[in-house]
Structures are given as structure tokens and as C-alpha cells.
Amino acid sequence: MSSSRVPTNKKTAVACNNCSLSELCLPRGLTKEELTRLESAIDKAIKINKKDYLYRRDDPHQAIYAVKSGSIKTSLSTLEGEEQILGFYLPGDLVGFDAFANNKHSCDAQALEDTFVCELNMDSFHELCGSIASMRNGMMRQVGMEIGREHQLLLTLGQMRTEERLATFLTGIAERNQSRGFSSREFYLPMPRHDLANYLGMAVETLSRMFSRLQEDGIISVNHRLIEILAPERLKGLGHHQCR
């Protein structure tokens, strides 16, 4: 199943400090020597084919992963085969903190498209956290951001109407892209409608209607998974439930 994970592809491996994502996944304030240590501990550019699992629930906690290209979704599945998607992870995001509680993963992580990740195995992780304070702090920061993302999603699922959920989601993606130097006006969504609807806690049909509505209102332009935001301020305005 997840056997299509291939060994490090030396050709695409790039030193961390030359990687465009280093700002995102590298803790600040590492000395040159510490950076070398971190770098030598990281397995670079592991390929996960579309629909393959990076890990599954109950797998032992082997590593923390940084998404280099592509995208990953994490989800919880029930005995009846239903699922709840917990998060989408895009380039620059770190995945794998869900296994901290028991040293085994508590959810599934699946590639939405062909994806490359860098991998920091847990032995190295513990060693580096033990000996480098800024590494430890950087990781806590990342875990904190993960918790923050989940809080935001709880607010979305608990308080918002469907249109508002989609508006908030799209605004979030736009802002994320902005902060990473990509276009905040036009982007591709990596996930199918089915997954996005599940993530946002609504039926696919409802999601589809909301896309249509936002388009009719001239707020966005939808072309399959290519989204163009025509009126960012109006879109943002639909997200009533902004945090105080």
C-alpha cells in the first residue's frame, strides 16, 4: 500500500540552506555548526505518490516531515469507513506531531498529489531537541501553530454557516500564499471537492452551491480547482467570525 515510498532521490536533494522553504521549516538562530548537524540528519526529497500514505494510524512515530512540494491531507477514519479530514498540509508545513501522545500516529496522512517531503527521524529529532535550544523552541512554535490551526477549524465547524466556512477557508489560503510570496489572487486547490466539503463539515452538493453562489456574486471566479479571487475584501467580509 504505502510501499511506493522510494528512497532519497539524490538528484533532487537540495541543501537546507539553499531550499526555498528553509525560512519555514528551519528553526531560527542555528549556528553554522548546528545547521550542519540538522542538515545531515534530514532525509531529503522522499517521494510520496498521489494517494499513497505517508503514514497511517497506529504506525510507529518514525519522523517529522516537511512538505517540500505537493500536498498532504490528514484524517481520522471511523469503523464505518467514514472520515473526518483534519488538515491540509502545503509546501513549508510540518506534519507528524499527532504521534507525540503515544509514539504512534493517531491519524492517517495521505498525499493528495505526487509529493516530496523531507524527513527528520525521531532519534535525530530527540537528540537535536535535547542539545539545541533554538531547535527545541522552533519545534514548540510549530506545535503551537498546529494547535492554533485546529482551534480555528473548531471555530469554523462550531459557529459558521456554510458560506462563511468556504469564505474563511479561501481567505486563509490567499493569506497563506501571500505570506509565502505566491499569488493571493489566483491559485489551484490541491484537493477534490469531496475532501474540501468533508474538511468544512458540509455535503459536497452544498459546497458546490457555495462556490456557485460566490461566483454569481462576482466575488470569486471558479474554474474547476483554479480559483481567482475577484473581490478579496468582500470575501473577507463574509467571514464574520473573526477572532477578537
Partner DNA sequence: AGGAATGCCTGACTTAGATCAAGTTTTACT
Partner DNA sequence: AGTAAAACTTGATCTAAGTCAGGCATTCCT
101 binds, among DNA, a second copy, none (CB under 5 to 8 A by kind): a second copy
If contact means CB under 5 to 8 A according to the sort of partner, which of a second copy, DNA, none does residue 119 touch?
A: none
Q: Could you tell me the maximum CA-CA distance found in the chain, to the nearest angstrom?
A: 56
Which of residues 2 and 36 has its CB atom nearest to DNA in the complex?
2
Site residues, DNA (CB under 7 A): 161-163, 192-194, 201-209, 211-212, 222, 224-225
To a second copy, the closest distance from the beta carbon of 100 in angstroms equals: 3
161 binds a second copy (CB under 8 A): no
In DSSP terms, which residues pair with 84 in a beta bridge? 76
Q: Kindly state the DSSP code that residue 12 receives in the 8-state scheme.
A: T
Judged by CB under 8 A, which of 17, 31, 102, 212 binds a second copy? 102
What is the nearest approach in angstroms of DNA to the Cβ of residue 112?
10
Contact map string, positions 162 to 201, toward a second copy, x by CB under 8 A: ------------------------------------xx-x
Place of cell 458540509: 202
Residues 15-34 that bind a second copy (CB under 8 A): none
Alpha-carbon distances of 17 from 26, 28, 47, rounded to whole Å? 9, 12, 20
Cβ atoms of residues 57 and 101 within 8 Å: no
Residue 137's H or E segment, with its range, is helix 133-159
CB atoms within 10 A of CB 73: 24
Residues that bind a second copy (CB under 8 A): 57, 76-80, 82, 84, 86, 97-102, 106-107, 126, 129-130, 133, 136-137, 140-141, 143-148, 150-155, 157-159, 198-199, 201, 240-244
